[in-house]
Structure 1
Amino acid sequence: MSKVNNPCFNFENTYINLPKSFYSEINLSPVKKPELVIFNEDLSKSLGLDNEYLKSQEGLEILAGNKKVDGGEYIAQAYCGHQFGHFTMLGDGRAVMIGEQKVSKDIEITKKKSNKFDIQLKGSGRTPYSRSGDGRAVLGPMLREYIISEAMYNLGMPTTRSLAVLKTGEKVYRESVKEGAILTRIASSHLRFGTFEYAANYLGKEGVKILADYAIDRHYSHIKDSENKYLSLLEEVTKAHAYLVAKWQSVGFIHGVMNTDNMTISGETIDYGPCAFMDIYNPETVFSSIDVHGRYAYKNQPNIASWNICRFAETLLQLIDDDEEASIDMAQKVLNKYTDLYFENWIYNMRCKLGIFDKEEENKSIIEDLLSMMEKYKEDFTNTFVSLTYKKDMDRGMFITSEFKGWYENWQERLKSQGKSLDEVYELMKKSNPVVIPRNHRVEEALKAADNGDLTVMEKLLCVLKNPYEYKENMEEYRQLAEPTDLPYRTYCGT
């Protein structure tokens, strides 16, 4: 395969310094006719890339995996995973990392500070980990990941991001014939819990140690000199995910497939497959078509994160202490902190949504009583907090019940007791309550139009989602719920 000179990439590839067992070098599978569908100019600029070059024909050849860029290292990573609780060998079955882009200083491109970001092609063809798959992706799911990942970033969530989506000019066969596509994904790394599970199961103690040292260097260099840096690594990952999942819960985001291979060491959201945002508040909400038992329902996400962290902790036990019992005891003490860490993050997010600045015991009951009413009266999660923030649409439903009026009086008394002006209260609420989210019917509308060649619907949606906390009149149509239907909304992996 031919290479092109490197006009804008600044690769400093470090993953290839790990033992070759951690990855496979890839000869890419060129596609017929790469065509740009959408390009993230702001993200590209932040990465120090050349927008015009990447949108040129030669740039598209790189983003399509037709040509290797000079200085790139084309690899697929090996990893395992507990999928719906069952352990299996996995790996990048349709994704290839082309290199690690070095930027001049630590920046928050993914809401996590880093000076190095993986650039990965998703849907670029078969790898040694594809099993029976074709390694390709289709247009709809790749555009879904673009929309949702960018919405998550703008909502303030730590997340992988999307640089571009290209059509390949080829057909992909799923339940029907689909348009082929490739997404370029950006992450501060693609190290997963499942990467550690792979090392622990197949490479032994030395393999886990090499990987742990690499993860510390890449993401948590401040713990290098800790008395027990591997225990500190467990602490940092635990904190990162207690923070992340609490953020998800605060905006009604449901990941849909929280397998250990879909959890990153950095604490960034990854793998936007059957994800969606909750409309009507119901803790039992599940969207994923494959989650038939509700393992990854909205209410279960905090506990599933804890379960996944336990699987990660098991891989580190042999490094934490030579004495197995002592190692388990030390790890367990860290794991026991997760519930409190999560609750601390969750209640902070929720009290901010209600304009409550200070910590008081009664905050918990105020929050939980509101959520209980929202569930009882089937109120929309996002719009309820918008109504409270902007005093809108409060002449119907839950808002006109005596139950809500009693709660409202208690809430107002709580706000008065904290010594903050109402302007300060509502400013905090505005910063904490998105006016718009990528509502499921709007996402489907955009994907359907794009599939028919009309990108304007998606472009308008992305424009609205760019500033979700800023109220504007043109957002009103994007706050509306979908028309009632007898069938629940379902999402699919898209693989």
Structure 2
Amino acid sequence: MKLSEIKLTNPYLALPDECYTRVKPTPLENVFLIHANEEVAKLLDIDSEELYSDAFVEFVNGAWQLEGSDPFAMCYAGHQFGHFVPRLGDGRAINIGTIKQWHLQLKGAGQTRYSRSGDGRAVLRSSIREYLMSEAMHGLGIESTRALALIGSEHKVYREVWETGAIVLRVSPSWIRFGTFEYFSHKKRYEELEALADYAIAESYPHLVDAPNKYLQFFTEVVARTARLMAEWQAVGFNHGVMNTDNMSIAGLTIDYGPYAFLDDYDSKYICNHTDQGGRYSFGNQPNIGEWNLQALMHTLSPMAHIHKLEKALAQYTELYTDRYLQLMGQKLGLDVLKDEDLELIKHLLGMMQGLQIDYTLFFRTLSHYEGERSTLLSLGLFHKPMHEWLDSYDERLKANTSTTEERHSAMLQTNPKYVLKNYMLQEAITAAEDGDFSVVDRLFEIAKDPYAERQAHERWAGATPDAFKNQKLSCSS
């Protein structure tokens, strides 16, 4: 379909007026296309050749609105680092319409009513990070928002220094957050709260539209999706960095990519956000924060469902999270049937990795080739005894497997990625892009699409993070 043939819809605007504010994008100056995602274009039924037209760049810049577009910013509240803020909202994101149930949003397209003292812009570095990482999470099989395109500009934006502005055209099956519910609950606007819940159910849980006790069932499924998402983050070694309730998706998606990081060396206490001085959103604390945020959501729904029943639903979180996490870790270890004692094997492994400061991704990829010869694995850590002790336990455990060694290797290589987009890799792309070279963005995008593939040309990115770049912390403007 050509851009001129598309007709957008705006289902969110059927909600009460207080849910949003209409606003027009403010285009950037002297814009150009950096990258377009042909796979996402197919989801939207947009012809791939349209992505490389001048009209498409103007569309992403907010300078040309497609038929039916009625741009708006969404209103929500949120607990930020545990402290409730009664009104936040889309401060630098503008929703421009819906295609085939995918909601399109321009991030960095100018000020909205909710920008507060901000300029509503996104800089090039943060836009590259979001564009690449949303595709990387999708490639890893983790539920995430995605992006259709990234444009750059000569528009000057000030953060700590002057930088250039950019826009990411993000797409998602839902942009509703836990904090969206908190906004109306805090204001005791229960009619709007119920309308929002009905909308969210129809959008993300349509099988519950006519279900008895649908609000309780809705919360029960949000608990399950959140538990699954947290387990997937932990298993792959992803640290989000800003798990405020306004950054938590009601649909169980990974949203709002800021100062995130994949683990370099395994460290359960790793903090990727330098604002998070207390470690609230440290890597190891993410499952607990997932539950904390669900508890906040639970209280917003209590006017529509019995609180004790909601509490029972929330009480399932730990078991749901643990079951999924153990299942994923068992897959990473090549265990074809989980046993009760596998929890201790996993704890032993993580303790060994923490003590030896072993690269998380590299270890599991290397283990995927393990046949009993230990030298390659031993070379990953400075001391060999702890690794020998764990491998002794692992060898013994593998005896209970019913699969062959070849089958185990094959399954593990499809579970343990060869590549994750670590921050030093992204910084390389950003540094080149700031000099006008977007080739590294192109290469990392290809890696992100299939992180399990062997790529001889990119082998240098499959090793341990260079010492000079390990465990860096980033700001929320990242």
Are positions 1:161 and 2:161 aligned together? no
Three-state SS of the structure 2 residue aligned to 1:394 is helix
1:58-207 map, 5 Å: 58-88=55-85, 89-102=87-100, 116-202=101-187, 204-207=189-192
Instruction: Write the deviation string for residues 85-107 of structure 1: whole angstroms up to 9, x where unpaired.
Output: 111110011111100111xxxxx
C-alpha displacement at 1:400, in angstroms? 6.8
Separation (CA, whole Å) in 2 of partners of 1:148 and 1:127: 25
Alignment counterpart, residue 238 of structure 1, candidates 214, 223, 227: 223
- Determine the structure 1 residue equivalent to 2:318: 339
Separation (CA, whole Å) in 2 of partners of 1:198 and 1:300: 25
Three-state SS of the structure 2 residue aligned to 1:62 is helix
Instruction: Write the deviation string for residues 187-241 of structure 1: whole angstroms up to 9, x where unpaired.
Output: 1110000111112123521111101111110111112232210000111100001
Separation (CA, whole Å) in 2 of partners of 1:330 and 1:81: 24
TM-score (norm 1): 0.92
Three-state SS of the structure 1 residue aligned to 2:303 is helix
- Determine the structure 2 residue equivalent to 1:434: 417
C-alpha displacement at 1:148, in angstroms? 1.1
- Determine the structure 1 residue equivalent to 2:39: 42
C-alpha displacement at 1:54, in angstroms? 3.7
1:316-335 map, 5 Å: 316-320=301-305, 327-335=306-314
**274-283 or 28-37: which moved more?**
28-37
Which amino acid counterpart does residue 208 of structure 1 have in structure 2? L
Which amino acid counterpart does residue 429 of structure 1 have in structure 2? M
Separation (CA, whole Å) in 2 of partners of 1:95 and 1:38: 19
C-alpha displacement at 1:126, in angstroms? 0.7
**390-399 or 332-341: which moved more?**
390-399
Alignment counterpart, residue 348 of structure 1, candidates 316, 323, 327: 327
- Determine the structure 2 residue equivalent to 1:108: none
- Determine the structure 2 residue equivalent to 1:449: 432
In structure 2, relative to structure 1, the CA distance for the partners of 1:139 and 1:403 (3 Å cut) is closer
In structure 2, relative to structure 1, the CA distance for the partners of 1:494 and 1:465 (3 Å cut) is same
Alignment counterpart, residue 271 of structure 1, candidates 248, 251, 256: 256
- Determine the structure 1 residue equivalent to 2:452: 469
- Determine the structure 2 residue equivalent to 1:358: 337
TM-score (norm 2): 0.95
Asked if the contact 1:394–1:400 (Cα under 8 Å) also holds between the matched residues in 2, the reply is no
In structure 2, relative to structure 1, the CA distance for the partners of 1:147 and 1:319 (3 Å cut) is same
- Determine the structure 2 residue equivalent to 1:405: 388
- Determine the structure 2 residue equivalent to 1:20: 17
Three-state SS of the structure 2 residue aligned to 1:189 is coil
Are positions 1:414 and 2:363 aligned together? no
Are positions 1:394 and 2:377 aligned together? yes
Three-state SS of the structure 2 residue aligned to 1:91 is coil
Which amino acid counterpart does residue 234 of structure 2 have in structure 1? Q
C-alpha displacement at 1:13, in angstroms? 2.2
In structure 2, relative to structure 1, the CA distance for the partners of 1:199 and 1:87 (3 Å cut) is same
1:221-232 map, 5 Å: 221-232=206-217
Separation (CA, whole Å) in 2 of partners of 1:398 and 1:488: 17
Separation (CA, whole Å) in 2 of partners of 1:94 and 1:461: 25
Which amino acid counterpart does residue 364 of structure 1 have in structure 2? L
Separation (CA, whole Å) in 2 of partners of 1:272 and 1:238: 21
Asked if the contact 1:436–1:479 (Cα under 8 Å) also holds between the matched residues in 2, the reply is yes
Three-state SS of the structure 2 residue aligned to 1:38 is strand
Which amino acid counterpart does residue 320 of structure 2 have in structure 1? L
In structure 2, relative to structure 1, the CA distance for the partners of 1:407 and 1:204 (3 Å cut) is same
Separation (CA, whole Å) in 2 of partners of 1:357 and 1:282: 27
- Determine the structure 2 residue equivalent to 1:324: none
Separation (CA, whole Å) in 1 of partners of 2:44 and 2:91: 26
In structure 2, relative to structure 1, the CA distance for the partners of 1:403 and 1:494 (3 Å cut) is closer
C-alpha displacement at 1:397, in angstroms? 4.7
Which amino acid counterpart does residue 240 of structure 2 have in structure 1? H
RMSD of Structure 2 on Structure 1 (CA): 1.8
Separation (CA, whole Å) in 2 of partners of 1:203 and 1:167: 42
C-alpha displacement at 1:8, in angstroms? 4.3
In structure 2, relative to structure 1, the CA distance for the partners of 1:289 and 1:402 (3 Å cut) is closer
Are positions 1:299 and 2:297 aligned together? no
Separation (CA, whole Å) in 2 of partners of 1:275 and 1:140: 13
Separation (CA, whole Å) in 1 of partners of 2:390 and 2:476: 40
Separation (CA, whole Å) in 2 of partners of 1:445 and 1:348: 34
Which amino acid counterpart does residue 45 of structure 1 have in structure 2? K
Which amino acid counterpart does residue 101 of structure 1 have in structure 2? I
Separation (CA, whole Å) in 2 of partners of 1:432 and 1:486: 26
- Determine the structure 2 residue equivalent to 1:110: none
In structure 2, relative to structure 1, the CA distance for the partners of 1:365 and 1:170 (3 Å cut) is same
Asked if the contact 1:8–1:48 (Cα under 8 Å) also holds between the matched residues in 2, the reply is no
C-alpha displacement at 1:394, in angstroms? 2.3
In structure 2, relative to structure 1, the CA distance for the partners of 1:16 and 1:301 (3 Å cut) is same
Are positions 1:480 and 2:459 aligned together? no
Alignment counterpart, residue 32 of structure 1, candidates 23, 29, 32: 29
In structure 2, relative to structure 1, the CA distance for the partners of 1:395 and 1:330 (3 Å cut) is closer
Which amino acid counterpart does residue 186 of structure 1 have in structure 2? V
Separation (CA, whole Å) in 1 of partners of 2:189 and 2:441: 47
Separation (CA, whole Å) in 2 of partners of 1:65 and 1:34: 11
Asked if the contact 1:6–1:70 (Cα under 8 Å) also holds between the matched residues in 2, the reply is no
Three-state SS of the structure 2 residue aligned to 1:169 is strand
